[in-house]
C-alpha cells in the first residue's frame, strides 16, 4: 500500500484483488441467501 500526496489511500494490486474477491463472494452469498429464503417460503406455503 502507498499513500498519495493528498492522503488518500491507494491500494496495492494484491489488496485490490483480495477486496474484489471478497466483494464477489459476499454478493454470491447474499444472492444464495435470498434464493434459499425464497425457496423455504414457497415450500412451507405449499399445501
Distance CA 28, CA 19 (A): 14
Nearest distance in Å: CB 27, other proteins: 11
**Which positions from 3 through 42 interact with other proteins, judged by CB under 8 A?**
3, 7, 9, 11, 14-15, 18-19, 21-22, 24-25, 33, 36-37, 39-40
What does the H/E/C string look like for the chain?
A: CEECCCCCEECCHHHHHHHHHHHHHHHHHHHHHHHHHHHHHHHHHCC
Tell me which residues touch other proteins (CB under 8 A): 1, 3, 7, 9, 11, 14-15, 18-19, 21-22, 24-25, 33, 36-37, 39-40, 43-44
Amino acid at each position: 500500500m502507498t499513500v498519495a500526496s493528498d492522503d488518500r489511500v491507494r491500494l496495492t494490486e494484491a489488496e485490490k484483488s483480495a477486496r474484489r474477491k471478497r466483494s464477489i463472494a459476499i454478493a454470491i452469498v447474499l444472492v444464495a441467501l435470498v434464493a434459499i429464503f425464497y425457496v423455504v417460503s414457497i415450500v412451507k406455503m405449499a399445501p
